[in-house]
Structure 1
């Protein structure tokens, strides 16, 4: 299955922005925002003055059609060349790396299962990524996601691959999957990325949040018999001694204060169950 892509070029050379939506098929706000921006470029509401923008609004079409995270494998853990692809998402990953190779900056748009405010994942603290982060209106920015994995073969994400081939890249989480404001968060982020990179000369959307910064410290996978002690939410502050949950072999009790990150209420056995983070003052 060939992925549907849209490319728009200005007459003048400049930066090349790439926008991904629905890398996970049940995360549709990025697709909705991308199609809205595409329509506005096509009808002249948004005018490109320099450079180009490419959209892959639906990166995982089969999962999107079934409203599920993935079909065979989590696409955002296998973004690397697959020379003998066997699974559906491996074929998709091979197409995605081709478009990543051609861009300057990638904005990968997601949403979460847990209730949450928007946030940015910034795994690589480059000047380009930090500058782009500052024009996207989210209250929380999280760094060092890859560092909580024992083996980075388990986190071959869009960010990992894009950074590896010299691109600037951010992952935007727009809130909970069904949050009616999530497509607007995604739209404003794409719009401000276009203005930040000089691809349009429109005035950027105003920022309402003062950003706070966090660093991942731990990741826990779901085991047999795993259950949370209560319904946690993303970015929830937790105190030392809090019992997060349990499985068949242990109880998960905090040894120090932490921030709950992306509790997966419906995680599959062996997949990421929840993360912990700590607040930091700055990335610079």
Structure 2
């Protein structure tokens, strides 16, 4: 058990790894909420504590698990102590974790969470939804981040907030990417800026909407449902577009990086806008687009992202292509072959990518990962998605 404090609420609480586990009186979905994977992001922890402490099992269908992430970092209000817990979830890291004799602080946290996840998977055959709460160091609208699988798209589009695709291509080892590889619906919700009251309230609203949209709670049993819905709609400034990440400024080891003050996530920027300083050299935008998650904290390796909105017609085209598994046609092109067809992994000669835009692979459902100087692997989330598990859910057939 650890003691944590919320500056936004001016409140202290004590929590265990399992903040709450509520088993409903009726069969239904399994919702797994994570909060505090980064120790300076406490909004989700307090939101889960506030909303679930009065939740009646009699009103609930299914089960809720609320899991605290980096307990030691939460107790110190630090992003992490030795390594970023949200960058350790690769298969190689997990394989090494089981055989290591000595674990650093974040690996001990990861080992406990990993075993808890396996236990939840083993215990339930119902649809499982994984939701990870975060906040940002900059001012921001609330938004959802997802790995680009259709089950994630369909579920996320019920919420009145913007959705951002493609972050898994730029980050190595996020928790949700690991869960997505298991085939489950999984999304991240960034509720606002660290230590703001709105960030806690937005998380609370998101919890209630998640429970209603999964049919864990009946809409009529949530007396303030409309208030929660319109809170998120208002906080998002009525922006509910789908965006895609097109660029990441990655901070190098020993680099002295500093964002210029005043930038907010989703703020429109022009090509040539002065964004930051690197070792006293100016960094300018190379795009007419929007800035996303500019870094205003000392820990973290992602300086800022650039995002652009996706036209709805391309979303429709990609859905058609994926539903009919037309990704198989790509292997007829020179330099492209299946690395693992069952898991939807292609091996692509990098010479080919000079002639095929990255967006083409995205439409087919693939996201890339560099393998060597000559080849990269493309991962198709649709091939591993557990669509059969969710096919009877109301949101799936909309």
TM-score, normalised to structure 1's length? 0.87
Out of 47, 70, 83, which is 1:73 matched to? 83
Q: Unmatched 5+ residue regions in structure 2?
A: 2-15, 122-127, 317-398
Q: Distance in 2 between matches of 1:120 and 1:267?
A: 24
Residue 278 (structure 1) aligned with residue 288 (structure 2): no
2:112 is aligned to 95
Q: Distance in 2 between matches of 1:225 and 1:121?
A: 28
Contact 1:132 1:193 in 2 (8 A): no
How many equivalent residue pairs?
272
Contact 1:63 1:71 in 2 (8 A): yes
Deviations, residues 17-74 of structure 1 (Å, cap 9, x unaligned): 1011111111111111111122111xx3x74442111111x31111111111111111
Out of 62, 66, 76, which is 1:55 matched to? 66
Rg larger for:
2
Contact 2:135 2:190 in 1 (8 A): yes
How do 1:88-237 residues align onto structure 2 when only pairs under 5 Å count?
A: 88-101=105-118, 102=120, 104-127=128-151, 129-138=152-161, 140-149=162-171, 155-203=172-220, 205-206=225-226, 207-208=229-230, 209=233, 210=238, 211-223=240-252, 224-237=255-268
The root-mean-square deviation of aligned C-alpha atoms, in Å, is 2.2
Measured after TM superposition, the shift of residue 125 of structure 1 is 2.8
Q: Hey, which of these two has a bigger chunk of helix by percent?
A: 2
Q: Distance in 2 between matches of 1:137 and 1:93?
A: 32
Q: Unmatched 5+ residue regions in structure 1?
A: 150-154
Out of 257, 280, 291, which is 1:260 matched to? 291
Measured after TM superposition, the shift of residue 238 of structure 1 is 0.7
Q: Distance in 2 between matches of 1:125 and 1:242?
A: 33
Q: Distance in 1 between matches of 2:165 and 2:46?
A: 26
Contact 2:140 2:266 in 1 (8 A): yes
Q: Distance in 1 between matches of 2:22 and 2:304?
A: 39
Deviations, residues 138-158 of structure 1 (Å, cap 9, x unaligned): 2x2111002235xxxxx2112
* 246-255 or 194-203, which deviates more: 246-255
Measured after TM superposition, the shift of residue 170 of structure 1 is 0.5
Residue 238 (structure 1) aligned with residue 269 (structure 2): yes
Contact 1:174 1:185 in 2 (8 A): yes
* 180-189 or 7-16, which deviates more: 7-16
Q: Distance in 1 between matches of 2:160 and 2:112?
A: 30
